[in-house]
Amino acid sequence: MSASLLYISYDGMLEPLGQSQVLAYLERLAPGRDIHLISFEKPQDWADTVRRERISRRIGQAAIHWHPLRYHKKPSALATAYDIALGSARAIAIARRHKVGVVHCRSYVAGLMGLAVKRATKARFLFDMRGFWADERVEGRLWPAGGRLFQAAKRAERSLLLASDHIVTLTRASERELQTWPFLQGRMPPISVIPTCADLDRFTIQGPPQRKPFVLGYVGSVGTWYLLDEMLRCFKLLQQIEADARFLIINRGEHKLIQERAAAHSIPTGNIELIGADHHAVPSYIPRMSAGLALYRPSSSRVACAPTKLAEYLACGVPCLGSSGVGDMSEILDEEQVGVVLDDLDDDSLRKTLLRLIELSRSANIQDRCRSVAMKLFSLDVGVAAYADIYEQLDDRHSKVQR
């Protein structure tokens, strides 16, 4: 058996993201490995005993050792600092007790905990950076540009990148961006591009394409980065083209906001189907869509974004309407002809883009083409194999240090 692995996620395993982008991988990576998982669970999720017990059983069946900690939200900076301190102490204790050889950290906050583990135990440090977090916080209007939090996060980013034994990023575009950063010139650790993947055994084509009525679909949250108003404008314009069109939204916890914004756009509530589904149920809803949406607010940090929803739409045979400037999305949708890229948000551009999307969704073999691209680029098996290869490399390096 390989040396023990410690995986740290600041996202909870009771959340859809944790289940699709952490658990789905670890379940396949667990055979032959002693895996310990630290996650931070939100109190409202933890209070759902049915979901908690179901996920706990799932983790146990994979022989993964779960160490859930409580996520603290307010006051924001102090709460995060507290979580980092608590998580670092727990992670170091686990790493020492179980002789952890590799610590795999998902994003920046978890990365700071993993950096503490590396310094305390000499474990190899895999920084799965996910995106340019500090820049995202500013461009998402969560932090002021040039403020103390941003400056501290950029210093942390530099430390995390320089201390990494291996970096994982989500897009080729972000890899190219990292290669230009001055402090990494001549000091770049090994880097791999592993986009967010989908479980293609669960996300599948489940029947003929949904053509009449045309169903525009969306999966995920609608805050901060997501263009909810523009999505609703898309739907309203779509109804001018396809009078019986429907909007299917799979979302947890933001239904009131969606309903309020729909009312502001004079969209009758009966034309929108809002569903609050756990991640395990999402594969049954996407095949009901004629096309899926992945619209993001424009920003330079979006080059590091690889939306999970894109992989899931395509795996179900559903083409996508996506934003330009988001990771490798434009390249994928245009070159593979599995979607349409939206460059401008004015009504005329939206209408022309929707007409192209409708035509594409009704083209011959669209489902098979989408599915083929998902298998080539976003298969969970491909992502798992890439992580397994990185773990093996880091295990070897750790073993040589231990000798």
H helix runs in 23-75, sequence order: 24-29, 43-46, 49-61
Instruction: Give me the pLDDT at residue 403, please.
Output: 52
C-beta of residue 51 within 8 angstroms of C-beta of residue 18: no
pTM for this prediction: 0.87
CA distance 146 to 52: 40
Residue 253 φ/ψ region, left for φ over 0, alpha for ψ in the -120 to 50 degree band, beta for the rest? left
Q: At 180, phi and psi to the nearest 5?
A: -95, -10
Instruction: Give me the pLDDT at residue 166, please.
Output: 98
Confidence of residue 351 (pLDDT cuts 50, 70, 90): very high
Instruction: Give me the pLDDT at residue 269, please.
Output: 86
CA distance 62 to 5: 14
User: Going from the N-terminus, what domains does the chain have, and what CATH number goes with each?
Assistant: 4-195+379-402 (3.40.50.2000), 215-377 (3.40.50.2000)
List, for residues 82-107, the tens digit of each pLDDT value. Answer: 999 999 999 999 999 999 999 999 99
Which has more pLDDT, 75 or 66? 66
CB-side neighbour CA atoms (13 Å) of 298: 9
Residue 318: pLDDT above 90?
yes
The percentage of the chain sitting over the pLDDT mark of 70, rounded to a whole number, equals 98
Residue 2: pLDDT above 90?
no
Confidence of residue 225 (pLDDT cuts 50, 70, 90): confident
List, for residues 366-383, the tens digit of each pLDDT value. Answer: 999 999 999 999 999 999
Tokens matching residue 204: 């599948």
The percentage of the chain sitting over the pLDDT mark of 90, rounded to a whole number, equals 88
Q: What is the mean pLDDT of the chain?
A: 94
List, for residues 178-206, the tens digit of each pLDDT value. Answer: 999 999 999 999 999 999 998 999 999 99
Burial of 335 from C-beta contacts in 10 A (0-12 / 13-18 / 19+): exposed
Instruction: Give me the pLDDT at residue 350, please.
Output: 94
Instruction: Give me the pLDDT at residue 297, please.
Output: 84
Which has more pLDDT, 357 or 403? 357
Burial of 188 from C-beta contacts in 10 A (0-12 / 13-18 / 19+): middle
- Segment 348-355 shows an average pLDDT of 95
Instruction: Give me the pLDDT at residue 201, please.
Output: 93
Helix or strand run (H / E) with residue 217: strand 215-219
CA distance 196 to 213: 30
Instruction: Using the structure block, give the residue that is written with the tokens 């999970």.
Output: 308
- Segment 2-25 shows an average pLDDT of 93
Residue 45: pLDDT above 60?
yes
Instruction: Give me the pLDDT at residue 141, please.
Output: 85
Instruction: Give me the pLDDT at residue 224, please.
Output: 78
Confidence of residue 223 (pLDDT cuts 50, 70, 90): confident
Residue 310: pLDDT above 60?
yes
Residue 1: pLDDT above 60?
no
Instruction: Give me the pLDDT at residue 396, please.
Output: 83
Tokens matching residue 361: 């969704």
- Segment 307-317 shows an average pLDDT of 95
Residue 314: pLDDT above 90?
yes
